[in-house]
Structure 1
Amino acid sequence: MKRVLFGVMAASAGLTVAAEYKAEWSDLNRYPQAEWISKAKFGLYWHWNYNSIAGFNGWYGRNMYNGPDGYVFKYHKEKHGDPAAFGYKDFAPLFTAEKFSAKQWVDDAERIGAKFIVGMAVHHDGFDLYDSSYTPWNSVDKPPHIDVIGELAKEARKKGFKFGATSHLAWNWTYFSSFMYPDKYDAKKAPELYNIHDPEKGPSEAWVKEWYARTTELIDKYKLDFLWFDFGTMDKGFSDQYTAKLTAHYYNKSVEWGKTVALATKVGFENRKSQVHDVEHGKFGYIRYPQWMSDSTLNKGWFYMGAEEDPKQITGEFWLYQLIDIVSKNGTLLLNIGPKADGSWKEEWKQELFRMGDWLKLNGEAVYGTKPWHRYGEGPTHDGDAEHYNLGRNLTKDDVRFTRKENALYATVCGWRGEPINIRSLGRKELPGLEISTISMLGSPDRIKWELKDDALSVSFPEKPPCEYAYVFKIEGKGLFPERAPEYLPVHVEPPKEKVAALRISLPGDHQQLSVAEVVAVGRSDWAKINRVPEAEITMSSCETDPMLAADLNMNGHPNMHSVARSETETDPWMLVTLPEPMNILDLEILGGMEHWDEFAKEGKIEALDAAGKVIHSWRVKECLEEQKAETEYLGLSG
């Protein structure tokens, strides 16, 4: 591909930026969230590059240089020779992709039930799978000599799918340099690929400029509907000058294109109100507004890892249950598959996912285009704490998950039952004034028997199951959608810029009981956003229940299954959450418990304390909720 001079390209890109959005986080938060991704619910993408050739380790390109004691180093030396003689660059001629077909990938994704398509544009190794102007290490100039992103975009859009890309490039600065220096192995022979330097110094401005140029070219060339960033942008070299500038470029391009795009990130971007919050191979334990996404992987290593896979996770049943749970909490699942180096997928993986697709073809009405109910579900299984690699378990026949669309409520029971299921969330006591007109099971012609009781709605199953895995009751009538708060009161707080050592939550006044379902204070680990509250010390002015329940998995207010920290009824009750260390909080949410939520909404107070116990910032819950209401519809995103 013809090369362009860096300075010329950067200058040209600057001239095309539209004026609608400034490179300032406060202004970028004006950008509307993309409703299409919230409606789509399920997307598919792929990890595929030189790592797929070895089929042994997800970070093979990096770990093969981890010295003589490293297990990947030993494997590589045995299979391919010493890295000095056969390095990562030498996999290039082997990446022939003779079975790759973008059409087949997109056709199979459609058969699985995905509603948007995403391609991995570049991983940490810096090999671009598109027609890049900035590095010779791309899939057009090197084998397989295919514009992978271009081909996928073309086939996806033929079918009317939105198309996006993931970029893992930011961490390329550290990927190889963590283990390898210029005087070792084969780095000097391919400096454009290995990007070798002293990793302790952090990304140079020249490198961050290259990252910006390569990423804006990716955006512009393929007119991306969706862009997802992995970690790396939290390093000090990635200042707002570049991350905010790139976000403004993307948003302004979308205005020029006449469409709303979706940006998803983990760290390094501060426009949290306009982007899609991402959790890697994990999920929330509660209904979260605004929308969020779980990017998760079918196979263990993200890239193809041969026989190293976990068979328990590679089933249509497991991933369908994850999708059902995620959607009930206002999330979207972006599922990764690791193809073989030749571009084919393991046939058994494909067949398992096709079973998931069969279910969605019959029951998709309860998934696509839905919104959460005021309660995500009931039953024994409650997983998810917004931490990466904490996806959770399979659901059971005693678990129910709820979604809503127009005038219908969908209750998905996650297993076949010979006996009726009693849905306590739909009893008369829970929903006074409920009048049910019809109940049907999607895919079944049989008339469904049911009985509305004070403590539950009892629903019988038909004689034969219409599908595998999970069974959807469509419920219609009056009083299904009461005008009331959800089972907890989520209060999103804009965190202070200063380091926070503790949080104080209080409810001023006489005869008050403070109820806190969960506290979420997201801090930064080495490379991901993690809720640090489970590591905190939590105390209360008085204790009716264990204060540490505020750090437990939220039970979402299920009858008789509360997981809520409560004070006794007293004057000015309070809770103190002492974090494991003073930290910069990236995201802060307080979930008021279902008891006395009205008082907490009107009178509650939240304070951030420094290490000396001094209040550095305070918020009134009422003001926070008023701001939230202005930003999004509380019981569902508009449209």
Structure 2
Amino acid sequence: MKISKREMLGGVVGTTVAAAGAGRAVAQAMPAIAPGPFQPTTTSLSAYDTPAWFRDAKFGIWAHWGPQAVPGQGDWYARFMYTPGHPHYDHHVKTYGHPSEKGYKDIIPLWTADKFDPEALVARYRAAGARYIVSMGVHHDNFDLWRSRHHRWNATVMGPKRDIVGELQAAAKRHGLRFGVSEHLGASYTWWYPNHLYDQFWPKLGVSYDGADPRYADLYHDNRDEPFINTPASWYTRNAAYQAHWLKRIRDLIDSYKPDLLYSDGGLPFGDIGRQMLAHYYNGGSKRGTVDVVYTCKNLGSGEFSDAWSTQDVERGALTGINPKPWQTDTSNGDWFYKQDDTYKTAAQVIATLADVVSKNGNLLLNVVLLGDGSLPPQSEQLLDDLAAWMTVNGEAIHGTRPWTRFGEGPTQGTEGAFSEKADYVDGDIRFTTRGKTLYAITLTEPKTRLVVTALRSGADGRSDTVRAVRLLGHKGALSYRQTAEGLVVDLPATLPSRHASVVAMTLA
């Protein structure tokens, strides 16, 4: 979810009498949930426990991708192409035509995905260290990337005419990876309000955009009284008919693909309707009395959140300490959708973020930007290559690990919350993970001639951690080390086995 002041639109949030009446009918016709231990109540759902596979995976890669990648202008194109004064609007008018004549419906056929090779992509994702992958299911643009039974605007009959979700899932299965899908549909009904408007200046003054054309109401929605106006309450629709429509679509996605992970872009939508979906998902994902699936949503904006019945997702941010329950941060190496002349994260920044998140009992879900045709831009190619090289040497300090008694040390502590990610670490910043009696110290910068772990200084805080052995991952030679009042001091070789960050593994008594 992205909200900024420039996205504000005038309007009111409300529910029409007709919608309220539809809501009563919808509530009576709610589809039955799958049989199982969960009921759609917070008390019942709070019996959920995060499965071990997610706690062990630590790193996932997200294909946050769809028709909005085609113009090459970045995130939220489908919204801002209908917002005069925004660069997306200017680009659209110049490149495709005025949105009263050429709207988002005309971008969809241009998304042919002719270079999309899920087998090759997933192989690279696994080599880069991903243990789960996530496919876009549906973004705020209301376009389904699967063989949707309830929506004609989907990728199997339009655009690429391929089942994007199904193809990625099949490739994930072949490579032994868990598979997830993301849904951003809940916010679509208000987010896309600008397509109903018109220019307030010549030469198209008062000429409605194509979103007002009733022939395309099932793509653009037909509500006129629920604009997203930069308030949490306006992120999700109050229209009961739309809420029921969301449930049908997301249940179809769940039932057709049975994903290991489901992500919502916001809190759990729509009260009881959202709880119906979640109980259905958890019951369908239960095996021998244990839930084997993950639902991740945000403690941000509208909707409901509790880490008792879901896994917290922190967009482009982190937590400041070790969270008692597993959680996830999601971020991208660039903009969420491909953007020409974008600034991309380096491998050093991504690795440091990964180490920081894992040290605090979290997972990193990283979008690796795809071009509109399904291929990787050079920056994404380089990142995957660099991650693969680093993981080959240091992956044991990430996968299957657990937090230590403290997450790390050093001058850079970070800031809590969404949209607060920081990747500028300095010498002395270290993050810890553990596996059995092994403690891993991951440097967040390239270390110099020695590493000092102050948490292991002699007699520190009354501790009695005695270091029995020390090794540098990827280095075959012995290391000189000593435990002093300054800390555990490790002399490093002149040539380090990996770039960006190094890992010292210490066996503790």
The interval holding the TM-score normalised by the smaller chain is: 0.7 to 0.9
Does the aligned pair in 2 maintain the 1:328–1:402 contact within 8 Å?
yes
Aligned residue type for 2:260: D
Does the aligned pair in 1 maintain the 2:66–2:136 contact within 8 Å?
no
2:408 corresponds to which of 363, 377, 394: 377
Aligned residue type for 1:470: A
CA distance 1:53–1:261, change in 2 (3 Å): same
Q: Secondary structure at the match of 1:365?
A: helix
* 2:216 counterpart residue number: 190
1:408 is displaced (CA, Å) by 0.5
CA distance 1:204–1:400, change in 2 (3 Å): same
Does the aligned pair in 2 maintain the 1:170–1:232 contact within 8 Å?
no
1:225 corresponds to which of 260, 277, 291: 260
Does the aligned pair in 2 maintain the 1:112–1:357 contact within 8 Å?
yes
Aligned residue type for 2:81: M
Q: Secondary structure at the match of 2:317?
A: coil
1:256 is displaced (CA, Å) by 6.0
1:16 is displaced (CA, Å) by 5.5
* 1:568 counterpart residue number: none
CA distance 1:423–1:121, change in 2 (3 Å): same
1:11 is displaced (CA, Å) by 10
CA distance 1:232–1:425, change in 2 (3 Å): closer
Aligned residue type for 2:471: S
* 2:145 counterpart residue number: 129
Q: Using the alignment, how far apart are the partners of 2:178 and 2:490 within structure 1?
A: 38
Q: Secondary structure at the match of 1:14?
A: coil
Q: Using the alignment, how far apart are the partners of 1:256 and 1:477 within structure 2?
A: 37
Q: Using the alignment, how far apart are the partners of 2:450 and 2:267 within structure 1?
A: 51
Does the aligned pair in 2 maintain the 1:127–1:137 contact within 8 Å?
yes
* 1:449 counterpart residue number: 480
Bigger RCO (CA 8 Å, 6+ sep): 2
* 2:327 counterpart residue number: 292
**Identity across the alignment (%):** 31
2:440 corresponds to which of 410, 413, 423: 410
- Counterparts of 1:117-156 in structure 2, within 5 Å, are 117-156=133-172
* 2:60 counterpart residue number: 43
* 1:494 counterpart residue number: none
1:463 corresponds to which of 489, 494, 499: 494
1:338 is displaced (CA, Å) by 2.6
Q: Does 1:305 align with 2:339?
A: yes
Q: Using the alignment, how far apart are the partners of 2:169 and 2:30 within structure 1?
A: 22
Q: Using the alignment, how far apart are the partners of 2:266 and 2:320 within structure 1?
A: 23
Aligned residue type for 1:279: V
* 1:356 counterpart residue number: 387
* 2:8 counterpart residue number: none
1:384 is displaced (CA, Å) by 2.8
1:357 is displaced (CA, Å) by 1.8
Q: Using the alignment, how far apart are the partners of 1:82 and 1:152 within structure 2?
A: 35
Q: Using the alignment, how far apart are the partners of 1:416 and 1:88 within structure 2?
A: 46
Q: Secondary structure at the match of 1:190?
A: helix
Q: Using the alignment, how far apart are the partners of 2:305 and 2:463 within structure 1?
A: 43
1:394 is displaced (CA, Å) by 2.8
Q: Does 1:248 align with 2:267?
A: no
1:275 is displaced (CA, Å) by 1.4
Q: Secondary structure at the match of 1:306?
A: coil
* 1:487 counterpart residue number: none
- Counterparts of 1:422-501 in structure 2, within 5 Å, are 422-430=452-460, 432-478=463-509
Does the aligned pair in 2 maintain the 1:18–1:256 contact within 8 Å?
no
* 2:307 counterpart residue number: 272
Encode CA deviations 1:470-511: one digit per residue, 9 max, x unaligned.
111111131xxxxxxxxxxxxxxxxxxxxxxxxxxxxxxxxx
Q: Secondary structure at the match of 2:497?
A: coil
1:400 corresponds to which of 430, 438, 448: 430
Encode CA deviations 1:447-482: one digit per residue, 9 max, x unaligned.
11111113411111023211111111111131xxxx
Does the aligned pair in 2 maintain the 1:286–1:329 contact within 8 Å?
yes
2:91 corresponds to which of 75, 79, 82: 75
Q: Does 1:200 align with 2:235?
A: no
Encode CA deviations 1:519-552: one digit per residue, 9 max, x unaligned.
xxxxxxxxxxxxxxxxxxxxxxxxxxxxxxxxxx
Q: Secondary structure at the match of 1:150?
A: helix
Q: Secondary structure at the match of 1:45?
A: strand
CA distance 1:11–1:355, change in 2 (3 Å): farther
Structure with a larger share of its residues in strand: 1
CA distance 1:10–1:119, change in 2 (3 Å): farther
1:97 is displaced (CA, Å) by 0.9
Encode CA deviations 1:413-444: one digit per residue, 9 max, x unaligned.
23344432322100122253332211111110
Q: Does 1:59 align with 2:92?
A: no
Q: Using the alignment, how far apart are the partners of 1:137 and 1:170 within structure 2?
A: 16
Does the aligned pair in 2 maintain the 1:316–1:354 contact within 8 Å?
no
Aligned residue type for 1:306: Q
2:107 corresponds to which of 69, 91, 108: 91
Q: Using the alignment, how far apart are the partners of 1:477 and 1:175 within structure 2?
A: 53
Q: Using the alignment, how far apart are the partners of 2:287 and 2:484 within structure 1?
A: 56
How many residues align? The count is 460
Q: Using the alignment, how far apart are the partners of 1:461 and 1:217 within structure 2?
A: 55
Q: Which runs of 5+ in 1 are unaligned?
A: 1-8, 479-639
Q: Which runs of 5+ in 2 are unaligned?
A: 1-25, 199-206, 228-236
* 2:10 counterpart residue number: none
1:47 is displaced (CA, Å) by 1.9
Q: Using the alignment, how far apart are the partners of 1:286 and 1:57 within structure 2?
A: 32
Does the aligned pair in 1 maintain the 2:449–2:493 contact within 8 Å?
no
Encode CA deviations 1:393-413: one digit per residue, 9 max, x unaligned.
232332111110011111112
Q: Using the alignment, how far apart are the partners of 1:88 and 1:474 within structure 2?
A: 52
Moved more, 362-371 or 250-259: 250-259
1:353 is displaced (CA, Å) by 2.5
1:345 corresponds to which of 365, 376, 379: 376
1:146 is displaced (CA, Å) by 0.3
TM-score (norm 2): 0.86
Moved more, 338-347 or 418-427: 418-427
Q: Secondary structure at the match of 2:56?
A: helix
CA distance 1:271–1:249, change in 2 (3 Å): farther
Encode CA deviations 1:147-199: one digit per residue, 9 max, x unaligned.
00000011101111110100000011112214524971112141110013124
